[in-house]
Structure 1
Amino acid sequence: MWKILAFTAGVAIGSAAFAESGPGFSPVATEACLAAMTDSQDPTTCIGSSANHCMETTEGGWSTYGMSQCLDQERDYWDQRLNAAYKAVRASRKATEKEMADLGSAAPSQGDALKNMQRAWIAYRDATCDYERSLWGGGTGGGPATVSCLMYMTAEQALYLEADGLVE
């Protein structure tokens, strides 16, 4: 019982310190990293740059709560990019399908394939991150590990869809 109360008090103190201090999250570090990339470099190396900056510059940023907050904010950043990329790719595929139909093509639907791929990816991401959490055996590190997994996988998918050349 004391461990639960001590942990709860620690989270409350860590949460208050995190919320009241430092600059918090900004995507600037990630965007700067991506902007500096050359064609031969791997953009996935930029994933986590802003979350790490958030943890380093925010009081309480390296607490379990702080890490989860910084990682989740970068996950949200990548999720917004993913949604924009998906929307752009989907619109492009629909236009391509219309052109193909006008030509009398019986090619399979790219839009349907994209939608099915994305749905399968969501299930894969969720199962992978559930497994990641299980590796922590119920410990407090499971929360940040799960959010980190979600952030990395979401970022990788966003970059994959953006690489289609339709999103700048």
Structure 2
Amino acid sequence: MRILILPIVLMATPLSAQELSFAPEPTESCRYNAAHGDDKSQCIGLAANQCMSSTDGQTTIGMGFCLDAELSYWDGILNSGYQQLRAALQSSDAELPETLAIQADQLRDMQRAWMAFRDAKCSFEAAQWQGGTGASPAYLACMMNATGEQALYLMSVFSGEG
């Protein structure tokens, strides 16, 4: 039996993440300047779009960098919102009889189900590219949008803005 060993060649690409710059300000500014009751979901993707408007951001690698950076931004907001809301619901549940103290557990169950749905939805979005180079940006765009929408939802429940 022969084993074929192929050398791995690491080539410098014309684009590296260091050449791209992501700044969350467009998304943050939109969120903070939105009037009460405005649809803040329109803020999702503004920073990624600005990042992708640069020459380097228009490549598949660049798009991935920009979309992943804003996904991380929204993931931080989602996690913070979830923790704040869960703590508030646990406190509220503590004052109720055991049979009614279900809000925090229902939030946890909802979030777990949402994560499974988001992951399946975004995998389906990527599958539409049938293995092509657009699959990764499609997946990341889906993840960014879904995570942003869920973060805004959790923050609206926590703050009472709906």
TM range (shorter): 0.7 to 0.9
Aligned to 1:154: 147
Matched, 1:96 2:96: no
Q: Distance in 1 between matches of 2:33 and 2:62?
A: 28
Identify the match of residue 43 of structure 1 among 27, 40, 45: 40
Give a deviation string over 1:122-141, Cα, whole Å, max 9, x none.
Answer: 00000000000010111101
Q: Distance in 1 between matches of 2:37 and 2:70?
A: 24
Identical columns (%): 40
Give a deviation string over 1:35-80, Cα, whole Å, max 9, x none.
Answer: 22123421101100000111124x4111000001000000000000
Q: Distance in 1 between matches of 2:19 and 2:152?
A: 33
Tell me if structure 2 keeps the 8 A contact 1:85–1:166: no
- Larger displacement relative to structure 2 (65-74 or 48-57): 48-57
* Structure with the largest fraction of helix: 1
Aligned to 1:3: none
- Post-superposition offset of 1:108: 4.7
Q: Letter of the aligned partner of 1:43 in structure 2?
A: K
Aligned to 1:81: 77
Q: Secondary structure at the match of 2:23?
A: coil
Q: Secondary structure at the match of 2:58?
A: coil
Q: Distance in 1 between matches of 2:115 and 2:99?
A: 29
Aligned to 1:54: 51
Q: Distance in 1 between matches of 2:19 and 2:23?
A: 16
Q: Secondary structure at the match of 1:25?
A: coil
Tell me if structure 2 keeps the 8 A contact 1:29–1:50: yes
Q: Letter of the aligned partner of 2:40 in structure 1?
A: P
Q: Which runs of 5+ in 2 are unaligned?
A: 1-9
Matched, 1:129 2:126: no
Q: Alpha carbon RMSD of aligned pairs, Å? A: 2.1
Which contiguous aligned blocks of 4+ residues in structure 1 show a shift greater than 3 angstroms? none
Aligned to 2:22: 25
Q: Which runs of 5+ in 1 are unaligned?
A: 1-7
Q: Distance in 2 between matches of 1:98 and 1:122?
A: 27
- Post-superposition offset of 1:165: 3.3
Tell me if structure 1 keeps the 8 A contact 2:84–2:158: no
Q: Distance in 1 between matches of 2:74 and 2:128?
A: 24
Q: Distance in 2 between matches of 1:88 and 1:42?
A: 22
